Amino acid sequence: MSPKPFVVPPSGYPDALNVLGTAIIPIATNEDTHSYEITVQSGGAGMGPPPHHHAWDESFFILEGTVELSWDDQIRLCEPGTLVHVPGGAVHSFRYGPGGGRMLEITGKGGTAVAAFTAIHKAIPSGPPDIPTVVSVFANHGVIFQVPES
């Protein structure tokens, strides 16, 4: 079946998923687009995932506040209106700046970010996360966290 045009007004957004302190609203899934995913993500200062990688490309468009994005040996403090593209396989992370931030995330073809976010939302209650469960759930969706060398 081929994809069909669709519209998602703000009143049609699903409830935000709580993913380790980041609110993630899935606006379009692979099922909707037959290709990529779009989410709106927001979090407080200092929140964000540790360094990780996955097979799909990912782009971030900063909407509000500042977001520090890191990949390879690059660290960039991004302001509203900034687009950052991270190719599949690249180790990357981000942290929301002072006052928090909000951004649009677009995955490349075949991304499973929304499935991973949904699984984490269901598996990890609010409060301090059980790190082994977090690592396991994300790994089941193709997201591999980088372990710092000792």
pLDDT digits (tens, 9 = 90+) for 111-136: 899 999 999 898 886 666 677 777 88
Question: Can you give the pLDDT at residue 149?
Answer: 63
Is residue 123 situated within a structural domain? yes
Is residue 28 situated within a structural domain? yes
Is residue 3 situated within a structural domain? no
Is residue 107 situated within a structural domain? yes
**Who wins on pLDDT, 30 or 148?**
30
Is residue 69 situated within a structural domain? yes
Q: How far apart, in Å, are the Cα atoms of 19 and each of 10, 43, 69, 134?
A: 20, 10, 18, 10
Is residue 44 situated within a structural domain? yes
Q: What is the DSSP-derived secondary structure letter of residue 73?
A: T
Is residue 67 situated within a structural domain? yes
Take residue 99 and report the two structure tokens written for it.
């006052």
Express each pLDDT in 84-113 by its tens digit.
999 999 999 999 999 999 999 999 998 899
Residue 126 CB burial class (10 angstroms; 0-12, 13-18, ≥19): exposed
Residue 72 pLDDT level (bands cut at 50, 70, 90):
confident
Express each pLDDT in 24-68 by its tens digit.
999 999 889 999 999 999 999 999 988 999 999 999 999 999 999
Q: Which domain holds residue 132?
A: 20-144
Residues above pLDDT 70, as percent of the chain: 93
Is residue 12 situated within a structural domain? no
Question: Can you give the pLDDT at residue 13?
Answer: 95
How many structural domains does the chain have? 1
Cα–Cα dist 45/8, whole Å: 29
**CATH number of the CATH domain containing 59:** 2.60.120.10
* DSSP, residue by residue, 79-142: -TT-EEEE-TT--EEEEEEEEEEEEEEEE-TT--HHHHHHHHHHHS-SSS--HHHHHHHHHTTT
pLDDT at 138 over 90: no
Cα–Cα dist 50/22, whole Å: 13
